[in-house]
């Protein structure tokens, strides 16, 4: 799933303003200006568009963990060194980091998936939250992450939005 879309959906679900997002990026050891945040959130076909690479997205998510759960920038730097992001685990890492940042339990994640119009069993959720070396590891595909983010918007905002309404 495109990182810019993930960033937009998380921003919308958590009602984050650009200034707060700038602060969260900095907590995740990413130096960014409010103008650059605006570029990350702009539409892809505009001149201002700036692609959100994995470093930016996962730095933001690390900052989100620190913002909601506490900790320091030093912890974010340590976490980033140990986790290697690949095409097969990028969505799983987004799911894991949102789980940690928002203190979600397995039941909450199941509810969020249901609010995103998809039934996911507890064993599937457990597999998505495991490390790649685990026997029960399950890749979180784009469809699952998209449905999870849609459900997260409904869970946090109390309503279900269509994809057109979610775009910022």
How far from chain centre, in Å, is Cα 53? 13
pLDDT (0 to 100) of residue 165: 46
What DSSP designation does 83 have? P
Evaluate whether 4 touches 40 at the Cβ level (below 8 Å): yes
Q: Which residues of 75-108 are buried (b: 16+ CB within 10 A; e: fewer)?
A: bbeebbeeeebeeebbbbbbbbbbbbbbebeeee
Residue 71 in this model has a pLDDT that exceeds 80: no
pLDDT (0 to 100) of residue 166: 47
CA distance 91 to 120: 16
Residue 26 in this model has a pLDDT that exceeds 70: yes
CA distance 142 to 148: 10
Evaluate whether 60 touches 51 at the Cβ level (below 8 Å): no
- Pick the range with the lowest mean pLDDT from 7-16, 78-87, 117-126: 78-87
Cα four-point dihedral sign 14, 153, 134, 103: positive
pLDDT (0 to 100) of residue 72: 66
Residue 146 in this model has a pLDDT that exceeds 90: yes
Residue 167 in this model has a pLDDT that exceeds 60: no
pLDDT (0 to 100) of residue 82: 53
The helix/strand/coil state of 43 is coil
Residue 43 in this model has a pLDDT that exceeds 80: yes
């Amino acid at each position: 799933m495109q990182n810019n879309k993930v960033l937009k959906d998380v921003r919308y679900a958590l009602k984050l303003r650009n200034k707060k997002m700038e602060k969260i990026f900095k907590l995740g050891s990413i130096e960014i200006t409010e103008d650059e945040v605006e570029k990350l959130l702009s539409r892809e076909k505009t001149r201002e568009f700036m692609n959100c690479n994995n470093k930016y997205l996962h730095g933001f998510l690390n900052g989100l963990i620190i913002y909601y759960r506490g900790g320091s920038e030093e912890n974010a730097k340590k976490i980033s060194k140990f986790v290697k992001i690949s095409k097969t685990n990028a969505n799983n890492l987004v799911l894991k980091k949102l789980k940690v940042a928002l203190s979600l339990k397995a039941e909450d994640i199941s509810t969020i998936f249901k609010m995103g119009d998809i039934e996911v069993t507890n064993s599937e959720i457990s597999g998505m939250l495991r490390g790649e070396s685990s026997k029960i590891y399950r890749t979180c595909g784009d469809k699952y992450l998209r449905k999870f983010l849609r459900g997260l918007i409904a869970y946090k905002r109390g309503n279900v939005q269509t994809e057109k309404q979610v775009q910022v």
